[in-house]
Amino acid sequence: MHNGDFWSLLKTTGYQLGPGALPEGREPMGTRLPFTQGTTIFALKYKGGVLVAGDRRATAGTTVMYDRTDKVLVIDRYSVMAIAGVPATAFEIARVMEHTFKYYRRSQLQELSLEGKVRALSRLLKENIPMALQGIGAVAPIYAAYDLQRKEGKIFFYDILGAEFEVVEFATSGSGSPAIRGVLHYENRWGKRALGDLPEEEALTLSMRLLETASEFDSATGGSNRDAHLYPIIKLVTQEGVREVAQAQLESLFAKKVIGRPVEGGPGLNVG
């Protein structure tokens, strides 16, 4: 009996996350071949819950490999994992997480606690340490969930070794994150409203502007593409569950509020 522990069940059948450590003296392929990576992701608390966003670009070295990557993955009805790093490893971790939560629910006839879900992701990242240290499977995710007991959204970010950190207002990860982290702090501290008080449309507009800003300063971050009707992936985690914002809604916001300068009454810097 595994008492709802799906990961232990997998390990007893011989499964391991990734190929494991290389034999002594073997050089990781990642040091000689560029591997696919993805950035930029962030999560922020707004009035209705948690908004989680990511750009769509995946790169290998200086080559753009794909421009429609989904970096915000639904794990269960009330939680998502945003990925920065190697998609192959991140997708595998997300699949194990999804099945872990289902296995626990069906074997224990109750939902796994939020604390248990947070530790499950930490445990998987720790299992991935050999790959991360070889430089070929590093993942630095953000996990966002709605806590039904406390009736509030929660945001956690992790380092590649599995250390977890809960944040109060926002979290960022990926190579484009330094360009927007300071903006988020500024907006939360001195903006017209704290991030947690932003209505949904203002939070969406701010998020699209942030990703456009990141794409200006980080070549690994993709911007919006009006010709291809291609916009970021944004998912909202609320008391009603996880909802993906339609590309048509983002396209409309992009045309009205992202192009050009902020209008009076809209989200943006409030200097003077």
Q: Please, where are the H alpha helices in 114-199?
A: 114-127, 129-133, 177-190
Query: 52 to each of 12, 43, 89, 95, 209, how far by Cα in Å?
Result: 35, 4, 20, 19, 14
Cα distance between residue 57 and residue 17, in whole Å: 25
Measure the CA–CA gap between 184 and 186, rounded to whole angstroms.
Answer: 5
Closest residue by Cα to residue 184 from 154, 176, 95, 33: 176
CB atoms within 10 A of CB 268: 18
Catalytic residue status for 39: yes
Residue 156 CB coordination number (10 Å): 22
Query: If we measure between CA atoms, which residue out of 152, 148, 149, 126 comes closest to residue 139?
Result: 126
Catalytic residue among 12, 31, 36, 39: 39
Q: Which residues participate in catalysis according to the annotation?
A: 39
